[in-house]
Every structure is written in C-alpha cells, then in structure tokens.
C-alpha cells in the first residue's frame, strides 16, 4: 500500500493533529522579530570580535548585558503573543495542560 502525504492540520497556535506544533504570527510580527534577531546576531559577532581583540573585560560584559536584554525583549514579545492567542485558545478548547506548559516556559525564561 502506498503512503499518502497528508499535511498536519493546525487548530490555532501550537495545537496540531500530529507531532508538529506551529504558531501563527503575522508577517509584520515575523519581520519585526527577525529584524531584532538579526541585530542581536550582529551584537554577538561584535562580542566575539571584542574577545578576539582582547578588549577590556568590563566593555565586553557591558555588550553581553545589552545582547541579553535584547533577547529578553524578543522573549517578552513572543510571550505576550503566546498568552493573547495560543494560551487563550487552548484554555477555551479545554486544554488546561497549556497552563502547566506555560509555567515551565516562564521558569526557563526567569533563570
């Protein structure tokens, strides 16, 4: 018997009929996040260059703190969108385990 490729159906953010979960960010949101992440990527390359050039440690640490703060901002945006769409949709669908999943994620972010 021949296998047929069937796309995974997504019901809202993160919920799927299969093993794969996906979000549904707007193109504007994806573009904004990608832009922020590109800047962070540049910051990380800059930090690497500072270390290679034996830049004063305090200056490197300041740049690391800036990169961490920028990543935190990306995480906050994603968390806000996740709460306003994914979590609400799943709780309304009776999938209350999403709250426990969210708590685990928040604990990871707060480390």
pLDDT for position 13: 60
Cα within 13 Å of Cα(34), Cβ side:
7
Write the CATH number for 76: 1.20.58.1000
**Domain enclosing residue 100, as ranges:** 27-109
**Considering only 5-9, 54-58, 61-65, which range has the smallest mean pLDDT?**
5-9
Domain assignment of residue 14, yes or no: no
DSSP 8-41: PPB-SSS-BSSS-------HHHHHHHHHHHHHHH
Which residues share a beta bridge with 16?
Answer: 10
pLDDT mean across residues, the chain: 85
21 pLDDT band, cuts 50/70/90, is: confident
- Please give the model's pTM, rounded to 2 decimal places: 0.76
Domain assignment of residue 47, yes or no: yes
Domain assignment of residue 5, yes or no: no
């Amino acid at each position: 018997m021949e296998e047929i490729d069937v796309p995974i159906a997504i019901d809202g953010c993160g919920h799927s009929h299969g093993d794969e979960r996906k979000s549904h960010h707007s193109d504007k949101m994806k573009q904004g996040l990608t832009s922020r992440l590109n800047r962070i990527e540049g910051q990380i390359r800059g930090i690497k260059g500072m270390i290679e050039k034996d830049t004063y440690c305090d200056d490197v640490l300041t740049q690391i703190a800036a990169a961490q703060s920028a990543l935190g901002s990306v995480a906050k945006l994603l968390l806000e969108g996740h709460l306003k769409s994914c979590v609400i949709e799943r709780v309304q669908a009776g999938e209350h385990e999403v709250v426990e999943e969210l708590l685990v994620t928040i604990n990871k972010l707060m480390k």
